[in-house]
Amino acid sequence: STVAIQFFIETLLIGQLGGLAGIIFGILIGYGIATALSFAFVIPWEAIMAAFLTSFIVAIVSGLYPAIKAAKLDPIEALRYE
């Protein structure tokens, strides 16, 4: 249903934004620590892609149940408690 798709897309978007923010902050913090300790900072692209893919999979898994549950709700009943 449309409600399920809306919930699912929202979950994917938030999950991907969180994954991207985590990757960016991880790179910045890693670079800062490596610079402070005079180490070379090298991060493989495979690690970045694995982190992004992991955040995508986690977003899918965590978004399925709420999307299905929201699709089954009666809109009148759902809004009654707002």
pLDDT for 24-63, tens place per residue? 999 999 999 999 999 999 999 999 999 999 999 999 999 8
Domain-embedded: residue 50: yes
In a domain, 60, yes or no: yes
Q: How far is CA 51 from CA 2, 10, 32, 59, in A?
A: 30, 20, 20, 12
Q: In this structure, is residue 44 part of a structural domain?
A: yes
Number of domains the chain contains:
1
For residue 33 the two structure tokens come to 């620590």
- pLDDT reported for residue 81: 63
Cβ 59 vs Cβ 14: under 8 Å: yes
Give CA torsion, residues 13, 19, 21, 26, to 10 deg: 180
Determine the average pLDDT of the residues in 51-80: 85
Q: Classify residue 82: in a domain, yes or no.
A: no
Q: Which residue has the higher pLDDT, 75 or 24?
A: 24
Tell whether 79 is covered by a domain: no
* Full residue range of the structural domain in which residue 54 is found: 2-74
Residue 59 and residue 15: Cα distance in Å, rounded? 5
For residue 39, is it within any domain? yes
